[in-house]
Amino acid sequence: MPEMTYSEAINAALREEMQRDPKVYILGEDVGIFGGCFGVTKGLFEEFGPGRVIDTPISETAIIGTSVGAAAAGLRPVPEIMFMDFMAVCLDEVFNQAAKMRYMFGGRAKIPMTVRTVCGAGFGAAAQHSQSLEAWFTHIPGLKVVMPSTPADAKGLLISAIRDNNPVMFIEHKVLYGTSGPVPEGEYTIPLGKADIKREGKDVTIVATSMMVHKALAAAETLAAEGIEVEIVDPRTILPLDKDTILQSVAKTGKLVIVEEAVKFGGFGGEIAAIVTEEAFDLLDAPIKRIGAPFVPVPFSPVLENAYIPSAGSIVNTVKSLG
């Protein structure tokens, strides 16, 4: 398989779906001529023109509001919200319109809208441009929430998201854009709601999302040298959540560590812990451990930001604490 960066894989998915289906279009701040804040939409304006690659005003409410209407009318918009932090500006359109229309119209309305947005710290972007707010969206029935960790997953999941008839939050991590990996050639999809085991092991299960999958893989290498084999489960889609794969892994290992970059208090990791406690408590040989960011805004200082983000070292120490 050819190597692609994470950003190239997303670009390829957008291009292929726009070529395949004329109802697919993208819109957002600087997505057109500039090619996107992170270069992800580079070249699409030149290929598809201003009618399908739309540079919008700086108004998240307008970007999502028009997308909801267009999706209800039969188009397949892929709006971009430059930073996840800015989703707060347009939550009414997401929570009270997009997520509820199909239900309130008795299933007759479809809202095939895929909102691309960017999460995560590690870029020196400070408190208003670095948050991981995915837990907000998992609390709203009617939405789907996707967090790819690899280029291959990013492409396959984005194509599935665009083809889905429900609103999807597609959350990309800014630090992952430059990472590379093998990506299957040609058209392929990954079903939403299906987890992936990124590493098999028998001693401890680690459930990690987005950038934390890579931190978990690094920790696994260190632990393997000490005779501890961890299994890493990447949910990929946190709503709907593939709880069966998680429970099967816990049944094998008897131990669970959950790693997320979001603030630990109120984070989605707590939901995973609750599911395992309620449905598989008798399979556990040790208490569930959770790793997340401290309950403070993301610091701008590089030293403090590095301390804020969960590290491979903290994962290693947590796994060892299970005995």
pLDDT at residue 115, rounded to an integer: 98
> Is residue 222 domain-shared with residue 287, that is, in the same domain?
yes
Asked whether residue 185 carries a pLDDT value surpassing 90, the answer given is no
Asked whether residue 146 carries a pLDDT value surpassing 90, the answer given is yes
pLDDT at residue 11, rounded to an integer: 98
Average of per-residue pLDDT across 169-180: 98
- How many domains does the structure of the chain reveal? 2
pLDDT at residue 44, rounded to an integer: 98
pLDDT at residue 295, rounded to an integer: 97
Average of per-residue pLDDT across 88-102: 97
Report how far residue 319's alpha carbon sits from residue 11's, in angstroms, rounded to the nearest whole number. 37
pLDDT at residue 77, rounded to an integer: 98
Q: Per the residue annotation, which of 129, 139, 173, 214 is the catalytic one?
A: 129
Domain boundary pick from 182, 204, 230:
182
Residues 6+ apart with CB under 8 A from 295: 263, 264, 265
- Backbone φ and ψ of 18, nearest 5°: -70, -35
Write the CATH number for 309: 3.40.50.920
For the whole model, what pTM was predicted? 0.97
Cis, bond preceding 182 (omega within 30 deg of 0):
no
Report how far residue 123's alpha carbon sits from residue 74's, in angstroms, rounded to the nearest whole number. 37
Are 18 and 192 in contact by the 8 Å Cβ rule? The answer is no
> Is residue 177 domain-shared with residue 219, that is, in the same domain?
no
Give the confidence band of 323 by pLDDT, cuts at 50, 70, 90. confident
pLDDT digits (tens, 9 = 90+) for 186-201: 889 999 999 999 999 9
Report how far residue 77's alpha carbon sits from residue 113's, in angstroms, rounded to the nearest whole number. 5
> Is residue 75 domain-shared with residue 205, that is, in the same domain?
no
In a domain, 187, yes or no: no
Report how far residue 270's alpha carbon sits from residue 72's, in angstroms, rounded to the nearest whole number. 34
The residue range of the domain holding 241 is 196-321
Asked whether residue 130 carries a pLDDT value surpassing 90, the answer given is yes
Are 309 and 262 in contact by the 8 Å Cβ rule? The answer is no
Q: What is the mean pLDDT of the chain?
A: 97
The question of whether 129 is a catalytic residue gets the answer: yes
DSSP state of 299: P
Q: Which amino acid is at 264?
A: K
Are 151 and 179 in contact by the 8 Å Cβ rule? The answer is yes
pLDDT at residue 226, rounded to an integer: 96
> Is residue 206 domain-shared with residue 295, that is, in the same domain?
yes
